[in-house]
Structure 1
Amino acid sequence: MARLKPNQPFELLGSTVQPGQRMEIELQAAQLYTHSPLSIPIEIIHGRQAGPTLMVNAAIHGDELNGVEIARQLTNAIDPKKLKGTLIVVPIVNVFGFIHKSRYLPDRRDLNRCFPGSEKGSLTSRIAHTFFENVAKHCDFILDLHTGAIHRTNLPQIRANLSNPETMRIAKAFATPVIIDSPLRDGSLRSEAEKLGIPVLTYEGGEALRFDHLAIRADYLGIHQVMKEIGMLRPNRKKLPEPVLSKSTSWIRAESDGILRNMVRLGEQVEAGQTLAYISSPLGHQESQVITTKGGIVIGQQTLPLVNEGDAVFHIAYFKQDDEEVGQTVESYIEEVAEDDWLTTLNN
């Protein structure tokens, strides 16, 4: 039996964490008007044995809260004495947005369009630079946790650059029901990290400003599955259903204004020509339908029942496989993730 390689002390932001220990540190990001410092909280969990460095970060968009809860659960669950490598957990990257329950920073910029940032740029660009240079670029893998925007919810899904074999490997290990081969977007954390050879998964699940039980549980399980795949945790025998790869996605938009009544749910298989929703006038005398032109799976939808013409109301994913087969995979996944015994088997 091969001897396990002991770990070395881990250094970040001037702090040193000994093997088998954990430490909370802060990265000063900016100041408030009052000159009170505003810091990004970070927890480092440093394993006894050598292994990769994984960062799990949330709330790059300050109103996306599921990842904050996932980070809390994760830090409480991981025992550094049973860990190989180093886990860096950043529950709130966009502290300004989190405080104000906003996607954006005070300069109205999107932090996930400003990486790698600049020391002399806008406030958002400076925070992006501080976080990227001091934390993100020192990792071997990154899991970037997101939700849908306000009034929009997402089925648990992974978005990743699947042309990178390492990214594909961990995307399959994460095992959300749907994996989307998503082009790298300029200024995103995913794009800039991949330029440095760091595989990144973007997880999407649930809705802004809401806790979503399924999305939180799916992400928690997925992170553990990735950690087992890259050798940070001991593997277990139980597996989630095999995920399916989406060949493309599209949004279906409202063709009229009014009150929306959804007829389908997240994860549901839909057929070409199917009515997804009705849009009616307040008294109901005028009514139109939202109809899909192609079969697929609903992976996102608007939750606000008030719509304007042109609003994106349903996000549909399309697959090479038979839609009914994919629908069964998604349904099986939701049933599996809802099982209580998953949490007890994670670390067995």
Structure 2
Amino acid sequence: MLKAGSFEFLDEVVAPGTRKIFNLAIGGLYTQKDISVPIAVVHGKVPGPRLLVCAAIHGDELNGIEIVRRVLHSSWLNNVRGTLIAVPVVNVLGCIQRTRYLPDRRDLNRCFPGSMDGSLAGRIAHIFNTKVLQSATHAIDLHTGAIDRSNLPQIRVHLASPKAEEMAHAFGAPVIVNAPIRDGSLRGTGEDLGIPIITYEAGEALRYEEQSIAGGVRGVRRVMESLGMLTMRKRGRKIVKPVVARSSAWIRAPESGFLTLYCSLGDRIRADETIGMICGPLDDEGVLIKAPHSGIVIGRTNLPLAYEGEAVYHIARFDKVTEAVDVVGEFQTHMQERSAEQFTPIQNA
């Protein structure tokens, strides 16, 4: 069996069959206290791909942090082939402040590939790009919905990249959205470098959601299996193939007021169906919100307040909506069972 050589990372060496913790310096506080990004590297005894799994590029998106932590402490990682580069919190400064953004109010995921002559966000993006991303051959970027918004577990990917498409299907989220590359995003920089990247979206900012976390851990493992980094497990149940949305769009509030929403994540809606109502605080009746087209709810606001034009529901459209409904329903059932099996409260010593 071919043995892996040592892995060089951040000017240090990780020996085959070992793991090492790194702290990537990204700057300092006003007090000149250093700030660093925590990184764990797990390097296998056998050669293979170098997979980056990162979370909290938006500092308030917490589900991914727990996904990375659980992956790192999973027993199956002991037999990894290749290298896992795990970054639970990319935007450390945003996480400390419980905000999506950096202190300069920039969105880090719009600042890649970055520059050391640019803004704070641009400099952090440059450091992460050159020191971390470029050490990988593949990447999974973990996200949630924005604050007061929830996302159905889904993969966003540029399907023009065959390798990224393979990773998207392997992950096993119920819905795949063909998402165009956004300027300044990590995915865009990865595509420019020839590094396939998929984005897992699930849950809400500033919240842990067990089903989304369990689905993320399972998805990371399945991608690692598909890349040959782990031995493929025997699966006791039928594998449901994800469904690819042909398009998606937000339904927006027709006027300002108080929201009553009738649909949940994963629900099927039909064209012209009443899916919510918005009214004033003294109104007896409100303005009904109608679905402009059929599809499945893959995102929604959790806040019962909206200004005119604010996003209310994110609806994905499919060629075969019934098939999509079945896939989403089976995924949700499986994740409920998995969450119940895996969740064990910590006992006091």
Both proteins in one fold, TM over 0.5: yes
Distance 2:239 2:283 in 1: 44
Aligned partner of 1:223: which letter?
A: V
1:122 corresponds in structure 2 to 119
Any conservation in 2 of the 1:48–1:81 contact (CA below 8 Å)? no
Match of 2:347 in 1: none
Alpha-carbon shift at residue 339 of structure 1 (Å): 2.0
Q: Which deviations, in whole Å up to 9, do the C-alpha atoms of 1:112-152 show, x marking residues without a partner?
A: 00001001100000000001000101101000000000011
The correspondence for 1:231, drawn from 228, 232, 235, is 228
Residue 280 (structure 1) shift = 2.2
CA contact (8 A) 1:156 1:177 kept: yes
C-alpha contact (below 8 Å) 2:158/2:165 kept by paired residues:
yes
CA distance in structure 2 between the aligned counterparts of 1:80 and 1:45, rounded to whole angstroms: 8
Q: Per the alignment, do residues 153 and 127 of structure 1 end up closer, same or farther by CA in structure 2, a change over 3 Å counting?
A: same
- Show CA shifts across 1:167-192 (max 9, x none): 11111000111001111111100001
1:334 maps to a residue whose letter is Q
Cα shift readout 1:291-343 (whole Å, capped 9, x = no counterpart): 1011000000000011111111000000112x122111110111122223997
1:208 corresponds in structure 2 to 205
Counterparts of 1:233 and 1:95, CA distance in 2: 30
For structure 1, which runs of at least 5 residues remain unmatched after alignment? Answer: none
Tell me, in whole angstroms, the C-alpha distance in 2 between the residues paired with 1:341 and 1:117. 38
Aligned to 1:319: 318
Structure 1 CA distance for aligned equivalents of residues 70 and 273 of structure 2? 40
Change (3 A) 1:130 1:172: same
Quote the residue 1:172 is aligned against: 169
Secondary structure of the equivalent of 1:339?
A: helix
Distance in 1 between residues matched to 2:334 and 2:139, nearest whole Å: 25
Which whole-Å CA distance do the structure 2 matches of 1:85 and 1:342 have between them?
32
Q: Provide the residue aligned with 2:295 in structure 1.
A: 296
- The 1-side partners of 2:314 and 2:117 are apart by 38
Residue of structure 1 equivalent to 2:329: 331
Counterpart residue identity of residue 311, structure 1: E
Which residue of 2 is the match for residue 72 of structure 1? 69
Matched ranges for 1:188-267 at <5 A: 188-238=185-235, 240-267=239-266
Q: 2:156 aligns with which of 156, 159, 170?
A: 159
| Cα deviation code 1:85-125 (max 9, x no counterpart) | 00010000001100000111111111000001001100000
**SS at structure 2 position matched to 1:219:** helix
Partners of 1:261 and 1:73 in 2: how far apart? 36
Residue matched to 2:136: 139
Q: Partners in 1 of 2:54 and 2:170 — Cα distance?
A: 18
Secondary structure (helix, strand or coil) at the match of 2:206 reads coil
Give 1:272 deviation, angstroms.
Answer: 0.6
In structure 2, C-alpha distance between the alignment counterparts of 1:293 and 1:190, rounded to whole Å: 31
Aligned to 2:278: 279
SS in 2 for 1:115: coil
CA contact (8 A) 1:46 1:80 kept: no
Secondary structure of the corresponding residue to residue 109 of structure 1:
coil
Number of matched pairs: 340
SS of the equivalent of 1:340 reads: helix
Cα offset, 1:79, TM superposition: 5.1
- Distance in 2, matches of 1:219 and 1:284, equals 43
SS of equivalent to 2:337: coil
Q: Which residue of 1 aligns with 2:346?
A: none
Alpha carbons of structure 1 residues 183 and 285: separation in structure 2 relative to 1, 3 Å: same
Write the deviation string for residues 150-207 of structure 1: whole angstroms up to 9, x where unpaired: 0110000000111111111111000111001111111100001111110000110001
